[in-house]
Structure 1
């Protein structure tokens, strides 16, 4: 498959182990999942990727849709010789996982969708955000991240500063193009087509994708489970890694026949 999008990636874990694919959120990079890699690397082959214009991935050469991004993930897996995997994604990464399961049935053994949506709120606002970032840079988004990406009490921690550093390093065009992909994304009517087990996880204090929005995913698919992580906002896998890792481990055990224990 040729998509015109080459995703920078990193692989950790045993070559012959079951595969986890980890897709990050808008404005972050593959190190968003460092705590998950540390917990699961002994038992899984973990593939992390950067979104276009994020981390080590080149900026996109034009407008992109969520389907384009899902195709790019499948193309990456094809190059790596990986047929099937459990896909984990935060926010836009979760949307990519949903799109992939719909457009490429058989390539996912299951999904864990974190702080995401079948249709994101205020779709008309995303092109406006893209225009702001193209004019002012990704730094224009820094002030709004405390309280959105993480609860205010988490602000100022080393982990919070690490996350904001990812945003500072994100390319303006890559961020803007992903905003436009989010604006056009709506799979609410297609959720029943997804037959693999799906875990949808919400942060109890997430204003971007509040629990009721995330619950739509679990309720809409054929085999869905919904969980809330208390005391967390949008990037809950970083704010509350132990709680999230326990949920992911249990989901993997239930859907893939592997141990639910985490390190």
Structure 2
């Protein structure tokens, strides 16, 4: 296990593949840890340096008192990549991870050369909606929201599989303080203006059955970046890298090839 001490926050991460290869960095969704990408990583081209991490309040990383700001979460990733000496990475972010990716791409042009915005938006939901979820978590824990979240995360067919139960367990075992803290960060974020100023290769990926960030939201967000591309994965919900890893990897690998990131 690798743990970086970043100004008092201990961040769990993995650093795999070729240490001298072109870096690709993955940022997880709300309520998941770095295992979110387990099915995709083995399908990536050889020669890449592959970095994953557990964001603040998730997985094996440290939990700090909430609420969190999006700038704090962006800063966590910035410090981790500085710690690892990463520049010119391909940054892949899903859901809140896609928001963190937008924020870092705006802040550190030297650090991000291309971005994949997966199942995300420049703005997700409303402040009132997130306030209700935060209150529910504080009252009844993540379990109180779990069934509704699972319906947004996964297609009906996937919810009938045995694997589904493992993902539900991953969700409810996240620290409630971290889940609520990151929910507050999403509630306070509107990246429409800063994201519209980005000028770099960008790809949006959406799932046709996504109940959290529908395809139109993903397309609207990535369309803010001139020259961007968009891909829809049919039959998948909010986590297409879990439900359709082969198709997800095919789309991602095509973008890697197109951008010369190898």
1:242 aligns to what? 246
The answer to whether residue 184 in structure 2 is matched with residue 180 in structure 1 is yes
Deviation at 1:88, TM superposition (A): 0.6
1:50 aligns to what? 54
TM-score normalised by length of structure 1: 0.93
Gaps of 5+ in 2: none
Cα distance in structure 2, aligned partners of 1:99 and 1:89: 11
RMSD: 1.6
Distance 1:234 1:19, change over 3 A: same
Of 11, 27, 32, which residue of structure 1 is paired with 2:31?
27
Of 44, 51, 72, which residue of structure 2 is paired with 1:40?
44
SS where residue 22 of structure 1 aligns?
strand
1:18 aligns to what? 22
The answer to whether residue 213 in structure 2 is matched with residue 209 in structure 1 is yes
Of 107, 111, 121, which residue of structure 2 is paired with 1:107?
111
Of 75, 89, 92, which residue of structure 2 is paired with 1:85?
89
Q: Deviating runs (4+, > 4 A) in structure 1?
A: 1-4
CA contact 1:3–1:68 (8 Å) conserved in 2? no
Cα distance in structure 1, aligned partners of 2:128 and 2:229: 30
Question: Which deviates more from structure 2 when the two are superposed, residues 34-43 or residues 88-97?
Answer: 34-43
- Matched residues, number: 258
Deviation at 1:123, TM superposition (A): 2.8
CA contact 2:40–2:246 (8 Å) conserved in 1? no
Gaps of 5+ in 1: 259-263
Distance 1:107 1:120, change over 3 A: same
